[in-house]
Amino acid sequence: MKKLINDATQVVADALRGIEAAHPASLRVDAGNRVVLRADAPASGKVGLVSGGGSGHEPLHFGFVGAGMLDAAACGEVFTSPTPDQILAATRAVDGGSGVLHIVKNYTGDVLNFELAAELAEADGITVRQVLVADDVAVTDSLYTAGRRGVAGTLLVEKIAGAAAERGDNLTQVAAIAERAAGRVRSMGLALAPGTVPATGRISFELAGDEIELGIGIHGEPGRTRGRLAPARVLAEQLIAPILADAEHTGCPVIALCNGMGGTPLMELYIMYADLADLLAGAGVQVVRSLVGEYVTSLEMPGCSLSLLRADDELLELWDAPVCTTALRW
Gap between the Cα atoms of 289 and 267, Å rounded: 19
Neighbours of 271 (CB within 10 A): 15
Gap between the Cα atoms of 153 and 136, Å rounded: 8
Helix, strand or coil, per DSSP, at residue 180: helix
Helix, strand or coil, per DSSP, at residue 142: coil
Going by their DSSP bridges, the two strands 303-310 and 253-260 should be labelled as antiparallel
Residue 196 · residue 11 · CB < 8 Å: no
Annotated active-site residue 23? The verdict is no
Tell me the C-alpha to C-alpha distance, in Å, between residue 205 and each of 3, 89, 197, 239. 18, 34, 10, 21
Of 57, 61, 102, 249, the catalytic one is 57
Of 23, 61, 219, 249, the catalytic one is 219
Measured in whole angstroms, how far is the alpha carbon of residue 29 from the centre of its chain?
20
Residues recorded for the chain: 330
Tell me the C-alpha to C-alpha distance, in Å, between residue 170 and each of 17, 161, 229. 34, 11, 48
Gap between the Cα atoms of 5 and 18, Å rounded: 12
Residues with catalytic function: 57, 219
